[in-house]
Structure 1
Amino acid sequence: MATEFQRRKIGLASSRLDLDGDGRITREEFRTHWYEFWAGDDASAPGRLLSGPGTFL
């Protein structure tokens, strides 16, 4: 069972990854974030959340 802290962190990440605010992460949103994670150079891009805070590849 998730703690309140974990639920808040998940909610925050979900809200940043859900670009159009419809309550779900679409394939296109996922594709955008996948690119941000692997090939993007913007450290503040939502896709960088996939690596966790303070990590660098």
Structure 2
Amino acid sequence: MPTLFLFIVVPVYHSLKPVSSTSFAFCPFHLISWTHRILTRLLTSLLYIIVHHFFPM
């Protein structure tokens, strides 16, 4: 069974894709897209943890 750390960090790590520093710094779309991707993964992981904590199967 994966640890809590792996469950949260691995999806976030895989969501990160190398982006050139110039396009990342000067294009707000990249920043918004990257932030949205990470927040979605974190919220999904958090929801999973809460559900399985309060409603164990």
TM-score normalised by length of structure 2: 0.31
Hey, which of these two has a bigger chunk of helix by percent? 2
What TM-score does the superposition give when structure 1 sets the normalisation length? 0.31
Question: Could you say which structure has the greater relative contact order, defined with CA pairs below 8 angstroms and 6 or more residues apart?
Answer: 2
